[in-house]
Amino acid sequence: VPADAETQSIARPAFDFFEGYMVTSVLASFEIGGFLEVLVSDGLDPRSGRAGEDAALLEAALRYLARRGLVEETGGVFELTGFGRVVCEDKGYLVWLGGGYSEPLRHLANFLRGEMQYGVDRTRDGRWVAAGAALLGRQDVVPEALELLAEASFARVLDLGCGNARFLISVCDRFDADGVGVDLSPGACDAAAEAIDAANMGERVEVVLGDATDLDSIPHLGQTELVIAFFLLHEISSQSRDTLITYLSDLASRLPAGASLLTAEVEPAGEGSGTQPFTPEFDFVHAMMKQSLLPEQEWRSAFAESGFEVTNVVRPAMPGGLLLLARKSG
């Protein structure tokens, strides 16, 4: 906490959570509303916004962030402080939680009482789950993942649960490959299509709105030398271990000899390198969705049973994160 923030040290930790909730809400909304980019690059002057914006509310939000030491004002323009820059480097985590899960979390009481069901009455916001994952991944997963991929050789890539396709686009660009992304969320697929257009990669990268578990519907599997599955397989393993093994075995049988599989997952809180920041919350959000996370050993054994031999395991900067690179055996 910066020395100049209006924060008193008091033995009432509830207020730390209170503050964290509000800062998360404001920063996630700034990112979603397109304000954070301007704040980071040029500073924000609430009086010179676009027509229709609520300048008074924007100024109130900036003054709030100033009280919490994240921004400072000079002549009506608000800029991030050093502390604010450090916080905003991790904005992906805040967007993932605040943008992706605030709606179902608001109904947690109803889920607890059995009056509503996650996935039936309320679900997460796919676009912002995907955007948050891509933002946090860019910094905390992608650098290590790209290094791992330098070991593999491939000309065709499939990204299962590709989200907004940012990673798929960078892999295809960097390794000169063609790619297909599959995602179940229309919001994520819309964002992926926009990102492919913006990167001018329409000739090489295609996104399909669909279910990654329906392997019959996925094009070019027989020529796919690299499969990426980032933060997807726990959705399948949560149905049952058998479902995961059946799925991975079917995938392996359709891929060419020597194909690689690169997965990213988060270990459950308390596993691997222990309880860290973020993992208890990640774990709980998944419990709300009736999903559970697996530790490294269980991924390894499920892969081995399904016809994939794990060749490299890396722990990226993401707290609790796990990257496994595997190769189709035999």
Ligand X SMILES: C[S@@+](CC[C@H](N)C(=O)[O-])C[C@H]1O[C@@H](n2cnc3c(N)ncnc32)[C@H](O)[C@@H]1O
**Beta bridge pairs of residue 38:** none
Residue with tokens 């081995």: 304
Closer by beta carbon to ligand X, 63 or else 254: 254
Choosing from 70, 207, 232, 266, the residue that interacts with ligand X (CB under 6 A) is 232
Closer by beta carbon to ligand X, 232 or else 323: 232
Closer by beta carbon to ligand X, 69 or else 99: 99
CA dihedral 211, 215, 219, 224 (to 10 degrees): 120
Give the number of C-alpha atoms closer than 13 A to the C-alpha of residue 223, restricted to the C-beta side. 8
Phi, psi of 157 (to 5 degrees): -120, 145
CA 55, 61, 132, 170 torsion-angle sign: positive
Q: List the interface residues with ligand X, window 284-323 (CB under 6 A).
A: none
Q: Shortest distance, CB of residue 297 to ligand X, whole angstroms?
A: 23
Q: Mind giving me the DSSP string for 23-59?
A: HHHHHHHHHHTTHHHHHHHT-B-GGG--TT--HHHHH
Q: Shortest distance, CB of residue 169 to ligand X, whole angstroms?
A: 11
Binding status of residue 146 toward ligand X by CB under 6 A: no
Closer by beta carbon to ligand X, 163 or else 319: 163
Q: Are 157 and 172 in contact (CB under 8 A)?
A: yes
Q: Shortest distance, CB of residue 71 to ligand X, whole angstroms?
A: 28
Choosing from 101, 231, 278, 282, the residue that interacts with ligand X (CB under 6 A) is 231
- Whole-number Å distance between alpha carbons of 13 and 241: 40
Closer by beta carbon to ligand X, 29 or else 239: 239
CA dihedral 22, 317, 3, 28 (to 10 degrees): -20
148 C-beta neighbours (distance < 10 Å), count: 18
Closer by beta carbon to ligand X, 111 or else 230: 230
Q: Which of 170, 237, 239 is nearest to 201 (CA)?
A: 170
Q: Are 26 and 61 in contact (CB under 8 A)?
A: yes
Closer by beta carbon to ligand X, 234 or else 327: 234
Binding status of residue 162 toward ligand X by CB under 6 A: yes
Q: Shortest distance, CB of residue 151 to ligand X, whole angstroms?
A: 20
Q: Shortest distance, CB of residue 182 to ligand X, whole angstroms?
A: 5
Binding status of residue 83 toward ligand X by CB under 6 A: no
Q: List the interface residues with ligand X, window 108-137 (CB under 6 A).
A: 126, 129-130, 133-134, 137
How many residues form the binding site for ligand X (CB under 6 A)? 22
Q: Shortest distance, CB of residue 74 to ligand X, whole angstroms?
A: 36
3-class DSSP state of 280: helix
Closer by beta carbon to ligand X, 61 or else 188: 188
Q: Shortest distance, CB of residue 155 to ligand X, whole angstroms?
A: 21
- Whole-number Å distance between alpha carbons of 118 and 35: 31
Closer by beta carbon to ligand X, 46 or else 268: 268
Record the tokens describing residue 158, joined without a space: 């499939």
Q: List the interface residues with ligand X, window 175-204 (CB under 6 A).
A: 182-185, 188
Binding status of residue 144 toward ligand X by CB under 6 A: no
- Whole-number Å distance between alpha carbons of 138 and 90: 10
Choosing from 235, 250, 281, 298, the residue that interacts with ligand X (CB under 6 A) is 235
Contacting residues toward ligand X, per CB under 6 A = 126, 129-130, 133-134, 137, 161-163, 167, 182-185, 188, 211-213, 230-232, 235
